[in-house]
Amino acid sequence: MPTVQVTFLGHAGMFIETRHGSILCDPFFNSAYFASWFPFPANDQLDIAPFTKPDYLYLSHTHLDHFDARFLRERVAKGARVLLPDHPLGLVERELQALGFTEFIHTRNAQPLEVDGLRVMITALNSPADGPLGDSGLCVDDGDVRIFNQNDSRPVEFEALNAFGPFDVHFLQYSGAIWYPMVYRFPQKMKDALSSKKRRTQMERALRYAQQIGAPHIVPSAGPPCFLDDDLMYLNDFDRDPTNIFPDATVFLEMVAEAGFTQGHLMVPGSVGTIGEGAFEVAHAQPDAEVAAIYTDKRGHIEAYKARQEATIAAEKASWPRGQVEILPAIKEWFEPLLDMADQTCLGIDDRLLLDCGEAAKVVIDFQDRVVHDWNGEPCRYRFIIDPALVEYCIVNHLEDWVNQVFLSCRFEAERKGQYNEFLYSFFKCLSPERIQYAEGYYAEQAPEQQLWECEGYLIQRRCPHLKADLTRFGEVADGVLTCTLHGWQFEIATGRCLTSDDRRLFSKKIEESEVAQPVASASADD
C-alpha cells in the first residue's frame, strides 16, 4: 500500500498526505506582485475544499507567490500546526500570527524533528540575498517514503540532506523567478544574449541539484509565473523562445530525459502523485489530452485564463494610490535614518541611485553621503524607473521589502553602469531598523576583523548575539546591564551572561589599565 500521496496545487503549492498527517505547502491561488504574477498552469478552477484543513502548514518564505495571505486568511483552517523554518527575524511566524494562526512548531536549521510519528527537517537559508531575508526547503519522512520539497531554495550544504535521505521524490524550481534581464534598458541583442544564458543556466543548476540529491524521481515546480496583464503578456514563453527566462515544465523535462540519471514527471494543478514500493506514479485530474493542450496550445490556455482574470487586474490597478503622498519628503524621512545605520551596505553600493517617478518625483538615494534629495542632474550609477503609484503604495503601506512587491512585479525599468550589485537590492529588502541591522550584522560577520567597542570599562562585541543589532547604536546601559533596545535583550556586562535567554552570550573582557582600548569597528565598516 502506498504511504504518501502528493496533490499538486500549482506553482509551488502541494498537499502531502501521509499516514501521520497532511501538510499543506506554499498554496498560491491569488495574484501576486501588483497582479502581475498568476500561477501557471491555471489553478483558478481547482476545487480547493479538500486542502483547506491540513494537519500541518508549511510556508517556505514570505515571497507573495509562496505566501498567499488572502488564501491563508480566508480558506485555511487556523488549527493547522505550522512547521516554521529557522529564519533569523521570524517573518513567517509574524505574518501567520497576523492572519490568525496560533500553533507553531519551531525547527532548527537542518536538524530532523519527529512530530507525532512524522519526521521532518527544514533547511533554512538566511543571507540577505535569500528570498526576503530567508528561504527554505522541507524534507518529509513517514517511515517508508522520503520527499524533498526544495522549492526556491538553493542549499549549499548537503551533509544533513544526504543523512536525511535517500529521497524518493524531489520537487525543485527550474524556471525564472526574477526581473533580470527583462526590465533592463539594454540593447536588444545584449538582452537576448543575457536571457539565453539565464534560461540555460537556471535549468542546468536545477539538474545539478537533482544530481546532488540523487532521488530517482523529480518534479519541476515553483514556476514559471503566468503574466495576464496586457503590459506584461510578452513575458510568457508562448513558443519555446530560447531567449525567454520562463520556460515551462515540459522544456525542463526534456533536459531531464537527456541527462538520464533520474526520471522526471509532469504535474499540473489537481495531479496526484502516489509514492510507494519504490515507485512514483502520477494521475492527472483531467484527461491526458487536456493536460497536453496546456502546453501545445499555451497561448489559448493563457488567453482563456486572462479573460477570467481581467476584472481582478482592473481592480488591482484601480486601487493604487495616486497623489496621496509627496514622494521625496516621505522617502527622505524613511530612508535617511536607515542609511545612517547601513555602514556595510553603503560601502558595498558606494554610489547613487536615481529613483525616477517621472514628473511626480526624481529622487536621488546617495549611498556615499547617506542622504536623500531631489535630482539635480548629477550622474547616478543606478536608475529605477517606476510608476509613482507603485512607490506611493510602498510608502502608504510602509512596505519594508520592495523586492517582494515592486521588483518581482516586473512593473519597472532599470539602468546601471557595471555589474549587478547585491547590496543594492538587499537594501530594498531591509527598509526597517530591524532588517537593516540584521543585514549589517550578516555582512560584518563575513569580514575577518573582530569588531569590539568599549563600554563601561569593558571591551564587548559590537553586534548583539540575538539578531546582530549594532549595540553602539541600540545599546543602553543601566546598573551593569546592557539592553539592546531593538528587541529588548539584556546582558550582564561583567560576565557576558544573557539575562533573556540561556542560549546566547556576549563577549566581554575587562580593560586593564595597561591595555589600550580597541576601536569600535574595523576601518572598512566605518569609513
Tens digits of residue pLDDT in 73-104: 999 999 999 999 999 899 999 999 999 999 99
Q: Are 146 and 167 in contact (CB under 8 A)?
A: yes
Mean pLDDT, rounded, for 266-273? 98
Q: State yes or no: pLDDT of 111 exceeds 60.
A: yes
In 200-311, the DSSP E strands lie at: 217-221, 225-226, 263-264, 272-276, 279-283
Give the three-state DSSP class for 383. strand
Question: Is 263 a residue whose pLDDT tops 80?
Answer: yes
pLDDT value at 518 more than 50: no
C-alpha cell at 293: 493542450
2: confidence class by pLDDT, cuts 50, 70, 90: low
Bigger pLDDT: 6 vs 524: 6
Q: Does the predicted model carry a pTM greater than 0.85? A: yes
Identify the helix (H) or strand (E) that includes residue 439. helix 433-446
Supply the pLDDT for residue 450: 56
Poorest-pLDDT segment among 43-47, 286-290, 514-518 = 514-518
Q: How does pLDDT run across 301-340, given as a tens digit for each residue?
A: 999 999 999 999 999 999 999 999 999 999 999 999 999 9
Using the predicted structure, report yes or no on whether residue 516 has a pLDDT greater than 70: no
Nearest-CA neighbor of 403 among 373, 433, 380, 423? Answer: 423
**Are 501 and 509 contacting, i.e. CB atoms less than 8 angstroms apart?**
no
Mean pLDDT of the chain: 93
Confidence category of residue 526, pLDDT binned at 50, 70, 90: very low
Q: Can you give the pLDDT at residue 512? A: 76
What's at 178, amino acid-wise?
A: I
* Residue labelled with grid coordinates 490597478: 317
498 vs 524: which has the higher pLDDT: 498
The fraction of the chain above a pLDDT of 70, given in percent, is 96
- Predicted confidence at residue 451, as pLDDT, reads 77
User: What are the backbone angles phi and psi of residue 346, rounded to the nearest 5°?
Assistant: -65, -40
The pLDDT-based confidence of 447 (bands split at 50, 70, 90) is low
Residue type, 309: Q
- Taking phi over 0 as left and psi of -120 to 50 as alpha, with beta for the rest, 245 belongs to alpha
Mean pLDDT, residues 481-487: 85
Residues pairing with 8 in the sheet: 14
Instruction: Evaluate if residue 176 carries a pLDDT over 50.
Output: yes
